[in-house]
Amino acid sequence: MSYLKWLFTTFLLILLFAAGIIAFNFFIDHHAVRLSLFSGNKKIDQTVYPDGINQHMFNPEVIFRQPEKFDSFLFGSSRIRAIYVTKIPTGKFYNMSYSQGLPAQHLAIIKAFLQKGIKIKSVVIGLDEFCFSLSASAHEKQLLRIMHPDIGGPGRPEIFGMYFFRKPSLDELARWRDRVLYGKMEERIIVNSSGVHLGWNQKGKILNVINKPIFQFNIQKYEPVTYGKKETDEAFAAIAELISLSHEHNFSLVFFITPFYANYYLNYAEGLMSIKERLANLTNYYDFSGINSVTINDMNYYEESHYRYRVGDMIIARIFGNGESKLPDDFGVLVTRQNVGKHLKSQQQELLHYLQAHNLR
């Protein structure tokens, strides 16, 4: 075989191999990037995918393709997936939840919406403990969390290479096999037309049948978390700009702090006290965290990080004053600059009593 023929054959084999990898990843589309960015369908408002779906891209693209369908948006991490936004009485809401959603990312998406002329009536934002300990730059190389190319993420050619020209993981292959060949849908991302994640339904059915928790999370040692200044300042800068945007573009803006499962919350509690005080000096917000009748009841949680749909209903009821007749009095405090001192003093006392009762202090 001549050198040129050998070179041509080698190049052709490499090209075919590369094309095979791209075609295979494009077909599996584990992160739903093909669906989000490289499909011609106008409506992508419902999908069933493995847990790897990148909702940082998927959810904004839903709104870009149907800019008049929604005028209100619920932002937050995967924890807000359990909030049925159709039950919110004001506005046509879409649930924009995405993994480890951060204030800086919410800000970037809202600014992109406004730049594209999308009308915004209301925005509700759920805040988590990691909102003040993670920088948005930490997500730049994570396939699950890379931002949409029109919202500060890499360009489409780079995204194509990142997601489709790579070796798929064994976990991706296993999930594809289970979904496509065996029809197994447990633990899948199932998003309805309003962006609500329906994947918890199976666990909800199990909870209703066995009537006892399906997880166990006990704190072994009390080790309070300290928040870094850089990450905290980044979060508050984004929150301040969100508040300014709401005034400038005349949309309502509501913040709330997630109802963390009590045992999970303990090590974050003290660090969050100063954050709650600082937040109250910027804006009013609803605080669902702390030691209360909802957060200490493990039947209100699918696991330590995610609360049940019924808790989502309680959040809506407290913020919007509708629908839930059995809303506990101690769940969800409207915190203002005037009452934040009293509120935090009460939470500190509740924390101390809980720690003492569980022999953690």
pLDDT at residue 360, rounded to an integer: 84
Give the range of the structural domain holding residue 81, as residue numbers without chain letter.
Answer: 3-357
348-354 mean pLDDT: 95
pLDDT at residue 232, rounded to an integer: 97
Angle 262-280/229-249 helices, nearest 10 degrees?
60
270-288 mean pLDDT: 97
For residue 39, the Cα-to-chain-centroid distance in whole angstroms is: 24
pLDDT at residue 49, rounded to an integer: 81
The pTM of this model reads 0.94
What tens digit of pLDDT does each residue of 175-225 get? 888 877 887 776 678 888 999 998 888 889 999 999 999 999 988 889 999
Q: Please, what is the average pLDDT of the chain?
A: 92
pLDDT at residue 199, rounded to an integer: 86
Per the structure, the count of domains in the chain is 1
| Calpha distance 287→204 (Å, rounded) | 25
Q: At residue 12, does pLDDT exceed 90?
A: no
Angle 229-249/103-115 helices, nearest 10 degrees?
30
What tens digit of pLDDT does each residue of 100-154 get? 999 999 999 999 999 999 999 999 999 999 999 999 999 999 999 999 999 999 9
| Calpha distance 153→197 (Å, rounded) | 24
- Largest pairwise CA distance in the chain: 85
How many beta carbons lie within 10 A of that of residue 224, not counting itself? Answer: 12
Return phi, psi of residue 171, to 5°: -65, -40
Q: At residue 323, does pLDDT exceed 70?
A: no
The larger pLDDT score, comparing residue 9 to residue 338, is at: 338
| Calpha distance 285→352 (Å, rounded) | 24
What tens digit of pLDDT does each residue of 64-90 get? 999 999 999 999 999 999 999 999 999
Q: At residue 261, does pLDDT exceed 90?
A: yes
The larger pLDDT score, comparing residue 294 to residue 6, is at: 294
Distance in angstroms between the alpha carbons of the first and the last residue of the chain: 78
pLDDT at residue 158, rounded to an integer: 96
Q: At residue 325, does pLDDT exceed 70?
A: no
| Calpha distance 134→86 (Å, rounded) | 30
Q: Which residues contact 344 (CB under 8 A, 6 or more apart)?
A: 273, 276, 277
